[in-house]
A and B are shown apart, each in its own frame.
Chain A
Amino acid sequence: GAVVSQHPSRVICKSGTSVKIECRSLDFQATTMFWYRQFPKQSLMLMATSNEGSKATYEQGVEKDKFLINHASLTLSTLTVTSAHPEDSSFYICSANREGASPYNEQFFGPGTRLTVL
């Protein structure tokens, strides 16, 4: 149990296009999901916290108009990278918090999405 999936696992797009990444909790309901960005050989950096039915909370320095987050259901959060540019190329990872549990005890990570912008 407690599986989080991400789709797509890898995407290549042209500069200026928008890309949507899905994060799904497959066998549990997630009230909170987190989006991270990971550069090669670097740490995971939290981008935003997504709560079901409300607006996401973005970390300082993250452009909310560029990284649109929607958490419309208890099993799905989406991250849309709008007007993507080569500097947006990165590994994007989501995690989901099981409903009713402390995030620290029940936070599960997806396998990540590799975005390459040409």
Chain B
Amino acid sequence: AQSVTQPDIHITVSEGASLELRCNYSYGATPYLFWYVQSPGQGLQLLLKYFSGDTLVQGIKGFEAEFKRSQSSFNLRKPSVHWSDAAEYFCAVGSDSSYKLIFGSGTRLLVRP
């Protein structure tokens, strides 16, 4: 069965510092991988996705993620965090057969001024 693990419940970084949010997945075939961001009172917004091809994908708001099949990981990175990046981040995996998304438990990002 598909599953997604985000091992960090909370992460605090200083504004301007780099960021990496971890995501590990379990899936038999090549997965469809996503990162979403959720701000309070708002819907989930897609940051980026990986289907195939180049394993380093660029997203919106300066985020990028790297698919590493050997590690079953899809970590999200940003070189310099802004205070507005404070939010909840979800990693998700999907299959091509059902189009369902399986979400990780989320990581809450706090940004120190």
Which of A43, A107, A110, A112 is most buried by chain B, counting CB atoms within 10 A of its CB? A43
CB distance from B39 to the nearest CB of A (A): 10
Contact A41 B9 (CB under 8 A): yes
CA separation between A41 and B106, bound complex, in Å? 8
The closest CB in chain B to the CB of A3 belongs to B43
Contact with B along A79-118 (1 / 0, CB 8 A): 0000000000000010101000011100111111000000
Q: Does A54 contact B (CB under 8 A)?
A: no
Interface string of B75-113 (1 = CB under 8 A from A): 000000000000000100010000111111110000000
A103 to B32, CA, bound (A): 11
Residues of B within 8 A of A34 (CB): 100-101
- Interface size band for B: 20 to 34
Q: Are A46 and B101 in contact (CB under 8 A)?
A: yes
Of the candidates A9, A43, A46, the one whose C-beta lies within 8 Å of that of B100 is A46
Q: CB within 8 Å of A: which of B9-61?
A: 9, 32, 34, 36, 41-46, 49, 51
Task: Count contacts between A and B, CB distance < 8 Å.
Answer: 52
Query: Do residues B44 and A109 form an inter-chain contact, with CB atoms below 8 A?
Result: yes
A75 CB–B CB distance under 8 Å: no
Contact: A43 with B43, CB < 8 Å?
no
Residue pair B99, A43 in contact (C-beta under 8 Å): no
* Given A4-B43, A111-B43: A44 and B49 interface contact (C-beta under 8 Å): no
Q: A104-B32, A104-B49, A109-B44 are in contact. Are A43 and B103 (CB under 8 A)?
A: yes
A43→B44 contact, CB < 8 A:
no
Report which B residues bind A (CB closer than 8 A): 4, 9, 32, 34, 36, 41-46, 49, 51, 90, 94, 99-106
Q: List residues of A whose CB falls within 8 A of some B CB.
A: 4, 9, 32, 34, 36, 41-46, 49, 93, 95, 97, 102-104, 107-112
